[in-house]
Structure 1
Amino acid sequence: MAGGRQIVSFLAERQNLDQFRKKNWQGTFEQYLDLIAQNPSITRNAFQRCYDMILSYGVDTYEVSREKRIHYRFFDDPLDQGKDAIFGLEDSQVQLVNALKSAAHGYGIEKRVLLLHGPVGSSKSTMARLLKKGIERYSAKDEGALYSLGWNDPDDPSDPAAIHWCPMNEEPLHLIPEDFRRDVAAQFQEASALADYPISISGELCPFCRFHYMESLNRYGGDWTKVIADIHVRRVILSEKDRIGIGTFQPKDEKNQDSTELTGDINYRKIAEYGTDSDPRAFNFDGEFNVANRGIIEFVEVLKLDVAFLYDLLGASQEHKVKPKKFAQTDIDEVILGHTNEPEYRRLQNNEFMEALRDRTVKIDVPYVTRLSNEVKIYEKDYNNQKVIGKHIAPHTIEMAAMWAVLTRLEEPKNASLTLLQKLKLYDGKSLPGFTEENIKELKSQAKREGMLGISPRYVQDKISNALVAHPDATSINPFMVMNELESGLGNHSLITSEEQRDHYRQLLEVVKEEYENIVKNEVQRAIAADEDAMARLCANYIDNVKAYTQRERVKNKFTGQYEEPDDRLMRSIEEKIDIPDSRKDDFRREIMNYIGALSIDGKKFDYKTNERLYKALQLKLFEDQKDSIKLTSLVSSVIDQETQEKIDVVKQRLIRDHGYDDESATDVLSFVASIFARGDVTS
């Protein structure tokens, strides 16, 4: 075990002092201008920096229905190993990034509130948290660097500890007088040509910096060059914890909250020192708009805010200005991000007095996931580590819970021949006869509200957690434990508004249970039929007979040595397992022989596993031949003979080896399937 000295030594070897010095750089205004000439990106505004931050993680392209789609890796949360990863919702992510891109290039959206809209638990907060976390980390990298300014204390200009830093961490270029800004930007034209955005100097000094600026001008007789000699510039690292460049505002009790929480308030203790409450030194520029300058401000449940706050929001979005008490309007540079749920947004739409806010928002829908595989990933993120949760989660447990959640979000298909479960499978990329990619696009276009209603992932996560603690003696939890928790919780679910809806969700649970039965029956069938030698012998026998049949030959009996007619009964017993009708048997047999012949021409050896239909037919046939010898139904009896137990143990080990069960869950699933056998509810 390492001691204190070894741990300190270990950390000392890994510290990066050079990086620390870069993050804590301080210099003069002139040196800052040199930095701009080398790297004009340090002058980017908040939207530009946020957009570039997302792109820095990389972009993947893929195709869906012959359409090119984009996936931004940033939303996988790679730096936190997927802790806040967002699965699916690519359309929402693209909408958000496109809005940031438009704002970054000054196309108008920079004057809007980006409003994430969707049902509870649809990842709106996660998306906002990712952006805040991302811009924080990006500002600590060389490519995300930004800078702010400070003023010498006139009473002690030589004391570095007495520097008055800008409380809003504003851009140092604000020091350049308005009349000269265009010419100064032109001086950087060569460097700017290599950057993604032209250098643009916009915005005025905040009241605090303006006060010091005017004091310096008076002190130096209007000599601007002497004023900037008193200026210090430093690197700024955005941090939510330190309230630098990242703000979060959420509604509270109206009696305990006023607009000063957004725009700052008078520091009454300093009024005696400075003589007036209009002196910016007697003001705390610590409202959320102030501290979020140069970064992001998040409004939690923004539409629940009192009207007084919304007025501040309107000015901040449209004019990029806020109005602190006793001071003129002050420029801000930040991404304004809000999120709200469905009922609050409907209230906004119905309120004619909120027309100005509606006009200043860009709504980005963040619905629930409607693709099963993505919903499964949401839960696996929390429940895929057996060491952490202390129990084994049986195969299909999470999948069945996710399937039910997705089913609650889908609208009944208008096509009468399509069930809701089939629709779910189509959305998940499965193929169904008679349905093309165009049909799937049509299904999605018909369902306008899909993903905006249904069960939240939080409810499912809560019920999986309940199942984990409700069975302390079990080493694993299975789908029925979770489905029972899901059903029992419907009775007091706070977001279910009608008994009709509750009954619908219960019916969907029955659909999921039936699907689970089919899945585990199939798995047990495959485990019973997983005798490779027996499968190979059955396949060889079938191929010999098919070859003789298609070439109008006879087959040599391996036991008698006599030549006999091809065994049609054997061939049909296999072909019927995959619903090949008698009228199509010749076509199927020729198809198999042509397949073998094509492999032979390419110098490849035939393997029954490579032909999916034949493999399934052989599995089902072998299962039918072996199920009686194994006597699986004896599992529901209290007495099992040793020979049967040995055969059942072999099947159990196959389930553990091939399908991810542990001993307890394998026994459970065999007992469950055995009970189905006992009531005669299995078709092979």
Structure 2
Amino acid sequence: MTSLKTSSGKNIISLIAGRQDLEQFRRKSWVGTFEEYLDLVRETPQVARNAFERVYDMVISYGTTVYDESRGVKRTHFKFFDDPDNGGRDAVFGLDETLESFVNALMSAAKGYGIEKRVLLLHGPVGSSKSTIARLLKRGLERYSTTDAGAVYTHGWVNEAEPTEVHWCPMHEEPLHLVPERFRDDVLKDLNGDADEEQYKVKIVGDLCPYCRFMYTERLKKYGGDWTQVIQDIRVKRITLSEQDRCGIGTFQPKDEKNQDSTELTGDINYRKIAEYGSDSDPRAFNFDGEFNVANRGIIEFIEVLKLDVAFLYDLLGASQEHKVKPKKFAQTDIDEVIIGHTNEPEYRRLQNNEFMEALRDRTVKIDVPYVTRLSDEIKIYEKDYNSGKVKGKHIAPHTIEMAAMWAVLTRLEPPNNASLTLLQKLKLYNGRTLAGFTEENIKEMKEEAISEGLHGISPRYVQDKISNALVANLESKSINPFMVMNELEAGLKHHSLITNEELRAKYRELLGVVKEEYENIVKNEVQRAIAADEDALKRLCANYIDNIKAYTQREKVRNKFTGQTEEPDERMMRSIEEKIDIPESRKDDFRREIMNYIGALMIDGKTFDYKANERLYRALQLKLFEDQKDTIKLTSLVSQVVDKDTQAKIDVVKSRLIRDFGYDDESAGDVLHYVASIFARGDVKRK
């Protein structure tokens, strides 16, 4: 037993050892002189990028896809927001327009067009992916800084007493800040050489932090003003940006007023070191560990930024506009970081109504992050968690996720202005369905008219919680179905903290009724298709129909295969098929000629007619076959307790088709058959 364990441990260690990249580790741990760093900048000027340039390049490095959203409207999809490095766990769906605006803001800031002096404010309802976008950027920048393309460097000071020891800059600042102001233009000319407008050019913006300024001044005195001697005491190293290591990534969130302290943003005095250095204004006795200090060279995220105390907002104004912060007892200090805040609608309205916050409003770029309004994208959000069709040992019946997503999207849509259009039809149009009388231009106009669409409604978090509840609550079932989830969604409305009035609750319950009706239509259709999935029977029915419409259009008679006699085309049979897809009596001749012309064109091309290729005809044949076979299967007998052996065999065939073709398991297939049977039973009662 022991030897087996030892062997297993060795195998694991060998596995890890074989996958290590020691050369990459050495590159990430590079330490050199200031002179070597200048050579590195000349060779790869991108290492001296500012934070906005680095973040923008990081997003673009993952690639883009350009597609036509509608006629004349092209949209760019940024693959970075698919979260490819994390298996799509934090992928953002359905927000390409929002993300395009956001990345355009980053690009503008990277080019120095003014947005670099603004707070990027993600604004939207709770659960609309604001935090996810910020998290993706922070995590992405961490990974990017570990690659050769995203390398970041900082400097430190060799300890005079112990030369092997280096005091690194507490704010991880750009080493080029060590170049004196009066020499910078000449240095930049040398570094940039013959670079043209299209190539990246090195810039030196900002000055040394208080700590490095103190060290620089002391060394300058020591060497009698000889800058070249000072630089000999400098070491440059490559750093990896990391939120956990508090290097280049910062996060700040509001606390209650009693516990808020602005030093959390800009650092505080280290009282234990005052005795050592003799003054509280000595930068060596100061901890430059506020979030603004920590986030230098990268990103700082402000969670619910508009909940901050006014004292914090003043720091934010200077940080965004001037790229400076004011640590206690020290002069304004340069920072280089992307400032991202996020807030919800009520907080943003408060900002707009507060005249004292005008300066902050003027320094923000608001980017709306709405809820998803396209059904297929909303489904993807839930499929991230429930993508296997089986969670916690339970099978998730087909359409369970779809119906929950449909209800969520319906709550976010504004009622259509067109009285002939229902809210459900509007949802389907947004999801790419076609509807007679509505063009792409009409859909575009609808979206433009509905200004606040997606900024209200049910959060995806609520739906995810209720799906989880359904999985846990129905312990006796091996499968959960749409009704289990819809029941949870409805029950939760009673206690939903963000629904403040009964009128809204009633509206959401009414929309659940719309979804249940849609589900009923979907499963009726699937059961009909499963019953009518007898390929041989469909082929026979189709051949019979084609023979009859051929004779009808050519004014001929049909030969009866059983009697051998010629007869008039079977009008009753033809109409029983055509009526299934709403072909009126006045249009039957056109439809029959259309089918014959289609078959004739195929024959000219040497192709064989396949009824499945004509979607309308295929559907009509399925519905006709279902009607013919429904009574032989005695579907309505399922609602009774007694089912004869022959009928049960036919029902089992239908169940196996539901499992094979539509993704049901045995339990959910049986549930659907019972449900559809009860619908038909109700229909029989009504007819009587």
Alignment of 1:408-557 (within 5 A): 408-557=411-560
Question: Is 76-85 or 546-555 further displaced after alignment?
Answer: 546-555
SS in 1 for 2:683: coil
2:379 to 350, 373, 376: 376
Counterpart of 1:188 in structure 2 is 191
Q: Which amino acid aligns with 2:54?
A: R
Q: Output the CA distance in 2 between the equivalents of 1:454 and 1:191.
A: 56
Q: Which amino acid aligns with 1:146?
A: V
Q: Does 1:76 align with 2:76?
A: no
Q: Does 1:28 align with 2:33?
A: yes
Report deviation, 1:189.
Answer: 2.2
Say if 2:389 and 2:397, in contact at 8 Å, map to a contact too. no
Q: Does 1:86 align with 2:68?
A: no
Counterpart of 2:113 in structure 1 is 107
2:292 to 264, 289, 292: 289
Say if 1:39 and 1:191, in contact at 8 Å, map to a contact too. no
Question: Is 384-393 or 133-142 further displaced after alignment?
Answer: 384-393
Counterpart of 2:56 in structure 1 is 51
Q: Output the CA distance in 1 between the equivalents of 2:145 and 2:420.
A: 55
Report deviation, 1:442.
Answer: 1.1
Q: Which amino acid aligns with 1:648?
A: I
Q: Can you list the C-alpha shifts for 1:370-403, whole angstroms capped at 9, x where unaligned?
A: 0000000000100123565321000000000000
Say if 1:150 and 1:163, in contact at 8 Å, map to a contact too. yes
Say if 1:40 and 1:195, in contact at 8 Å, map to a contact too. no
Q: Can you list the C-alpha shifts for 1:529-588, whole angstroms capped at 9, x where unaligned?
A: 000000000000000111111111111111111111111111111001001111111100
Residues 43 and 127 of structure 1: is their aligned pair in 2 closer, same or farther, counting only changes over 3 Å?
Answer: same
Residues 682 and 206 of structure 1: is their aligned pair in 2 closer, same or farther, counting only changes over 3 Å?
Answer: farther
Q: Output the CA distance in 2 between the equivalents of 1:612 and 1:591.
A: 13
SS in 2 for 1:100: helix
Counterpart of 2:143 in structure 1 is 137
Q: Output the CA distance in 2 between the equivalents of 1:10 and 1:50.
A: 34
2:570 to 545, 567, 572: 567
Report deviation, 1:197.
Answer: 2.9
Q: Output the CA distance in 2 between the equivalents of 1:497 and 1:386.
A: 35
Alignment of 1:273-352 (within 5 A): 273-352=276-355
Q: Can you list the C-alpha shifts for 1:78-107, whole angstroms capped at 9, x where unaligned?
A: 110100000001111001100000000000
Q: Output the CA distance in 1 between the equivalents of 2:101 and 2:27.
A: 35
1:19 to 24, 33, 37: 24
SS in 2 for 1:21: helix
TM-score normalized by the length of structure 1: 0.98
Q: Which amino acid aligns with 1:626?
A: Q
Q: Can you list the C-alpha shifts for 1:202-225, whole angstroms capped at 9, x where unaligned?
A: 100000000100011000000000
Say if 2:639 and 2:674, in contact at 8 Å, map to a contact too. yes
Counterpart of 1:614 in structure 2 is 617
State the aligned residue count.
681
Q: Which amino acid aligns with 1:589?
A: R
Q: Output the CA distance in 2 between the equivalents of 1:426 and 1:452.
A: 19
1:237 to 237, 240, 260: 240
Q: Output the CA distance in 2 between the equivalents of 1:597 and 1:263.
A: 80
Q: Output the CA distance in 2 between the equivalents of 1:573 and 1:423.
A: 32
Say if 1:40 and 1:191, in contact at 8 Å, map to a contact too. no
Alignment of 1:619-658 (within 5 A): 619-658=622-661
Q: Output the CA distance in 2 between the equivalents of 1:626 and 1:410.
A: 41
Moved over 2 A (4+): 189-197, 385-389, 681-684
Question: Is 399-408 or 440-449 further displaced after alignment?
Answer: 440-449
Residues 395 and 683 of structure 1: is their aligned pair in 2 closer, same or farther, counting only changes over 3 Å?
Answer: farther
TM-score normalized by the length of structure 2: 0.98
Q: How big is the alpha-carbon RMSD for the aligned residues of Structure 1 and Structure 2?
A: 1.3
Q: Can you list the C-alpha shifts for 1:46-74, whole angstroms capped at 9, x where unaligned?
A: 00000000000000010022211110000
Q: Does 1:674 align with 2:671?
A: no
Question: Is 194-203 or 660-669 further displaced after alignment?
Answer: 194-203
Identical amino acids, percent of aligned pairs: 76
Residues 266 and 195 of structure 1: is their aligned pair in 2 closer, same or farther, counting only changes over 3 Å?
Answer: farther
1:597 to 573, 597, 600: 600
Q: Output the CA distance in 2 between the equivalents of 1:620 and 1:188.
A: 76
Report deviation, 1:327.
Answer: 0.3
Say if 2:153 and 2:238, in contact at 8 Å, map to a contact too. yes
Q: Can you list the C-alpha shifts for 1:580-622, whole angstroms capped at 9, x where unaligned?
A: 1111111000000111111112221110000011001000000
Say if 2:390 and 2:396, in contact at 8 Å, map to a contact too. no
Q: Does 1:212 align with 2:209?
A: no
Q: Output the CA distance in 2 between the equivalents of 1:148 and 1:536.
A: 75
Residues 128 and 581 of structure 1: is their aligned pair in 2 closer, same or farther, counting only changes over 3 Å?
Answer: same
Q: Output the CA distance in 2 between the equivalents of 1:54 and 1:12.
A: 31
Gaps spanning 5+ residues in structure 2: where? Answer: none
SS in 2 for 1:382: coil
Report deviation, 1:343.
Answer: 0.2
SS in 2 for 1:395: coil
1:8 to 1, 8, 13: 13
Say if 1:169 and 1:294, in contact at 8 Å, map to a contact too. yes
Q: Can you list the C-alpha shifts for 1:627-680, whole angstroms capped at 9, x where unaligned?
A: 000001111111000000000000000000000000000000000000001111
Q: Can you list the C-alpha shifts for 1:234-258, whole angstroms capped at 9, x where unaligned?
A: 0011001101000000001221121
Report deviation, 1:195.
Answer: 6.8
Q: Output the CA distance in 1 between the equivalents of 2:122 and 2:685.
A: 48
Say if 2:248 and 2:296, in contact at 8 Å, map to a contact too. yes
Q: Output the CA distance in 2 between the equivalents of 1:214 and 1:388.
A: 64
Q: Can you list the C-alpha shifts for 1:410-449, whole angstroms capped at 9, x where unaligned?
A: 0000100000000000000001111100110111111111
Report deviation, 1:190.
Answer: 3.2
Say if 2:267 and 2:287, in contact at 8 Å, map to a contact too. yes
SS in 1 for 2:172: coil
Question: Is 58-67 or 242-251 further displaced after alignment?
Answer: 58-67
Q: Output the CA distance in 2 between the equivalents of 1:681 and 1:612.
A: 29
SS in 2 for 1:150: strand
Q: Output the CA distance in 1 between the equivalents of 2:419 and 2:247.
A: 57
Counterpart of 1:390 in structure 2 is 393
1:128 to 134, 141, 145: 134
Say if 2:63 and 2:78, in contact at 8 Å, map to a contact too. yes
Q: Output the CA distance in 1 between the equivalents of 2:146 and 2:18.
A: 21
Report deviation, 1:345.
Answer: 0.1
Say if 1:151 and 1:231, in contact at 8 Å, map to a contact too. yes
Q: Which amino acid aligns with 1:521?
A: K
Q: Does 1:41 align with 2:46?
A: yes
Gaps spanning 5+ residues in structure 1: where? Answer: none
Q: Output the CA distance in 2 between the equivalents of 1:69 and 1:681.
A: 51
Q: Output the CA distance in 2 between the equivalents of 1:352 and 1:383.
A: 46
Q: Which amino acid aligns with 1:118?
A: G
Say if 1:83 and 1:381, in contact at 8 Å, map to a contact too. yes
Q: Does 1:95 align with 2:98?
A: no
Say if 1:58 and 1:73, in contact at 8 Å, map to a contact too. yes
Q: Which amino acid aligns with 2:110?
A: A
SS in 1 for 2:133: helix
